[in-house]
Amino acid sequence: MTNFIESSIIFSGIKKLFDKISKKWNESQIGWLVTRNLNDVKSESSYVYKILNFLINKTFSINIGGSCGEKIKNSVILNALSHYEVGVYLLIFLIPIIPTMACVSIALITLFLFFINSIIKNDFNIKIDAFVLVTLILLITIFVYSITSYSYIASLKVFLVYASFIIFMLITISCGCDKKRFNIMINLFILSGFVVSLYGIYQKFFGNNLGHAWIDTSMFTDISMRVYSTFGNPNVFGQFLLLLIPICGAMIYNSRRLLVKFYYFLVMTFSLCCIVLTHSRGCWIGLILSVIIFAFLVDKKILGFCVIAFLILPFVLPDSIINRFLSIGNMGDSSTSYRVNIWLGTLNMLKDYWLFGVGVGTETFNKVYPLYSLEAAFALHSHNFYLQVFSELGISGLITFVICMAISLKKILIGYLVDKKSKYGIICAAILAGMVGLLLEGMFDYVWYNFRFFAIFWLVIGLGIAARRCACDEDFTHNK
């Protein structure tokens, strides 16, 4: 069957087309620029880098000398507390399951353990590269627009949650640069996704009927509910699965043992079922793009199989799924027209607040947005990732965010290009594909609305940067 598909005219045509695109990309100036790792050299020569590098190293590189210092460093209790990786493992598994403030608590405890580890070993091992630098600048930008917000108390609360999870992401990169630890981390993320997906399937058949809250019942009478698992919202659940599924695909591709391959295939199958049952059209579009990118980078044969599967799906999927997919862009759907009105209202607001924004958080957004809204008088957020960042942080915050995403994705892409055949290189390709798919989905929803998914967003980027360092076999040059 496989040989028949690979020898077909459709498959051969698709493969030749993408081979030609790949060749043109590699020969182009843009392709050359994207794959060059120039960001670190430029950032290390900047004054911002030097100041932040000095402050961070002074904070974490505390050298305790003398006999007292030796006793502290040899303390059994402190050495036990220095194993910050336990906190990393715990939070990676529990993020989709436990409440937001419990996640924040584990993140802060992990930071404390990391601090203890840095003191005992006199070894601060977060490499301040271009990505870390621009991420810290983004965090400073969020802080500035929190204290200047229309509702600064609410904004500062949001900032503290954001800061906890972004700093945890930096610790995750440090932890994941050890290949053994990275393997544990990626497998815990997949196991967590398996648990959440199983609960989503259970919810479909035995759960409550709250899934009706996100459906235009006049247009989609054949959809009984949208599953949301532990996230409380089907779109957020879909976003999580959008990042999980490509990673599962990479692990299937990497695995040599049949039983292990079957486990990852099982997780991916349950995840695919759940993303269909979320009925999140934005996530479906993002997943299609993710599959195309992953196949284009890793193995173009995958793309041929996917095209054939896509042609077969209309004959096997329920009408409810097909009708939902075909309704994309239909203004007769109340959720589509609702979003368009919110976008227009947000654009009206940005005419006055484009420079500095209104401040961080949806509570602040809702203090100003109703003054500019059209028919959609009430909205928790703008239902567009980029409009929301723009409206909260102004033009400088939006530019900083875009640069941060560009540098992170470029670094992850380089991780794949350095060693295309290694396990870590293929995981880089999967994370890159998932993140690009998610950023496309962000055109239709606000990705950071759920705090736990905000943590997952940065966690997956952290895993991508760590995988890149494993692929490149980067030895930590500590910032001393």
pLDDT in tens, 205-239: 887 655 445 555 444 455 668 899 999 999 999 99
Q: What is the pTM of this model?
A: 0.85
Separation of alpha carbons 449 and 105, rounded Å:
20
pLDDT in tens, 19-51: 666 566 555 544 544 555 555 555 566 666 667
Among the listed residues 278, 283, 275, the one whose alpha carbon sits nearest the alpha carbon of residue 215: 278
Q: What is the pLDDT of residue 83?
A: 83
Q: Residue 2 above 60 pLDDT? A: no
pLDDT in tens, 46-93: 666 667 666 666 655 555 555 555 555 555 565 666 689 999 999 999
Q: What are the Cα distances from residue 255, in Å, to 195, 264, 423?
A: 21, 9, 9
Q: Residue 350 contacts by C-beta under 8 Å, 6 or more apart in sequence?
A: 387, 390, 391
Q: Residue 253 above 60 pLDDT? A: yes
The token pair at 368 is 């100003």
The token pair at 41 is 């050299």
Q: Is residue 211 a contact partner of residue 391, using CB atoms and an 8 Å limit?
A: no
- The 3-state secondary structure of the chain, one letter per residue: CHHHHHCCHHHHHHHHHHHHHHHHHHHCHHHHHHCCCCHHHHHHCCHHHHHHHHHHHHHHCCCCCHHHHHHHHCCHHHHHHCCCHHHHHHHHHHCCCCCHHHHHHHHHHHHHHHHHHHHHHCCCCCCCCHHHHHHHHHHHHHHHHHHCCCCHHHHHHHHHHHHHHHHHHHHHHHHHCCHHHHHHHHHHHHHHHHHHHHHHHHHHHHCCCHHHHHCCCCCCCCCCCCCCCCCCCHHHHHHHHHHHHHHHHHHHHHCCCHHHHHHHHHHHHHHHHHHHHCCCHHHHHHHHHHHHHHHHHHCHHHHHHHHHHHHHHHHHCCHHHHHHHHCCCCCCCHHHHHHHHHHHHHHHHHHHHCCCCCCCCHHHHHHHHHHCCCCCCCCCCCCCHHHHHHHHHHHHHHHHHHHHHHHHHHHHHHHHHHCCCCHHHHHHHHHHHHHHHHHHHCCCCCCCCCHHHHHHHHHHHHHHHHHHHHHCCCCCCCCC
Separation of alpha carbons 413 and 434, rounded Å:
12
pLDDT in tens, 387-403: 999 999 999 999 999 99
Residue 464: other Cβ atoms inside 10 A: 29
Tally of CA atoms within 13 A in the half-sphere of 76 that contains its CB: 0
Kindly calculate the radius of gyration of the chain based on its CA atoms and give it in whole angstroms: 23
Q: What are the Cα distances from residue 161, in Å, to 135, 138, 191, 257, 263?
A: 15, 14, 25, 41, 34
Among the listed residues 113, 274, 283, 300, the one whose alpha carbon sits nearest the alpha carbon of residue 202: 274
pLDDT in tens, 451-472: 999 999 999 999 999 999 998 8
Q: What is the pLDDT of residue 331?
A: 66
What is the percent of the chain with per-residue pLDDT over 70, rounded to a whole number? 75
Q: What is the pLDDT of residue 306?
A: 79
The token pair at 210 is 């709250």
Q: Residue 333 above 50 pLDDT? A: yes
Greater pLDDT, 334 or 194: 194
Which pLDDT band, with edges at 50, 70 and 90, does 478 fall under?
A: very low
